[in-house]
Amino acid sequence: MSETIFTIFLILHITGGSIGLLTGMLVLSLTKGKKLHKALGMLFVFGMMTAGISSLALAIMHPNPFLFMIGVFTLYMTGTGVRFIKSKLSIPTPAPFDRILQIGMGISGIILIGWGAKLLFEGSMFGVVLITFGGIGMAMLLFDLKKMGKPEPDKLAYIRIHIQRLLGAFIASFTAFLVVNLEYMPDLIPGWMYWILPTVIITPLISYWSKKYQKS
C-alpha cells in the first residue's frame, strides 16, 4: 500500500515538474502581461506547486533530505512569486502562509549552506550546488523579512519580485530535468556543473527583465 502511495506521488511529481518545465519555457518566449502569458503562468504555478508538494511527500516516505529541501525551495519561490503579483502591492503584509514558507526556507537554507560547506571541505564539488540553492533561497528570505509589511515607494517592485521568484522556480524545474537525464548528457563538463547550469543560464534573464521594471 505504501509503495502504491509513493508511486502516486512520484507520478504527480513527474507530471507537475514536466508541466512546469514546458510552460516555463513557453512563458519565457512570450510578451509579459498578455492573456496567453497569464494562462500559461497559471499552469506553470500549478505544475511547480504540484512538484514541490509531492517532493516533500516523496522525501518523507523514502528519506531524502536534499529532495525535501529542494521541494521547500521550489514552494518558496513559487509561493512568494504568486503572493507578490496577486497582492497588487509592492510589498504585501505577511500572512500565515508567508510565515510558514519563511520558516521552511530559513531552516532549509541554513542546512543546505552548512551541508555544502562540509562537502567542499571534504573535497566534493557537489557542495557548490547546495550552497548555490541555499544561498539564493536565504537571499530571498532575508529580503522578505526586511521588506514585507513595510511601505515601499517603488510601485514596480512587486513585478520584479514576481519575475525573480518564478524564474527561480523555473531554475529548480530545469535543474531537475538535467539531473534526471544526467546519464545522457555529454561529458563536456563535470556532472556536478549540470546542477548549476540552469542558474548560470537563467540568472542573466532575471537581471534583464528586472531592469525593464526598474523605478524610473
Residue 91 is which amino acid?
I
Q: What is the pTM of this model?
A: 0.85
The percentage of the chain sitting over the pLDDT mark of 70, rounded to a whole number, equals 92
Q: How far is CA 190 from the centre of its chain?
A: 23
What tens digit of pLDDT does each residue of 128-146 get? 889 989 999 999 899 888 8
Buried/exposed 11-42: b ≥16 CB within 10 Å, e otherwise: ebbeebbebbbbbbeebeeeeeeeeebeebbe
Residue 142, pLDDT score:
92
HEC-encoded secondary structure of 43-57: HHHHHHHHHHHHHHH
What average pLDDT does range 29-39 have in this prediction?
A: 78
pLDDT at 2 over 90: no
Q: How many residues does the chain have?
A: 216
126: pLDDT confidence band, cut at 50, 70 and 90? confident
pLDDT at 216 over 70: no
Residue 144, pLDDT score:
85
Task: Report whether 182 contacts 194 (CB < 8 A).
Answer: yes
- Long-range contacts of range 148-156, CB-CB < 8 Å, 24 or more positions apart? 148/91, 148/92, 148/93, 148/94, 148/98, 149/91, 149/92, 149/93, 149/94, 150/91, 151/91, 152/89, 152/90, 152/91, 153/215, 154/90, 154/215, 155/90, 155/215, 156/90, 156/213, 156/214, 156/215
Task: Report whether 134 contacts 108 (CB < 8 A).
Answer: yes
Q: How far apart are CA 74 and CA 135, in angstroms?
A: 14
User: Which residue would you say has higher pLDDT here, 197 or 47?
Assistant: 47
Mean pLDDT of the chain: 85
User: Which residue would you say has higher pLDDT here, 117 or 88?
Assistant: 117
Residue 47 grid cell: 505544475
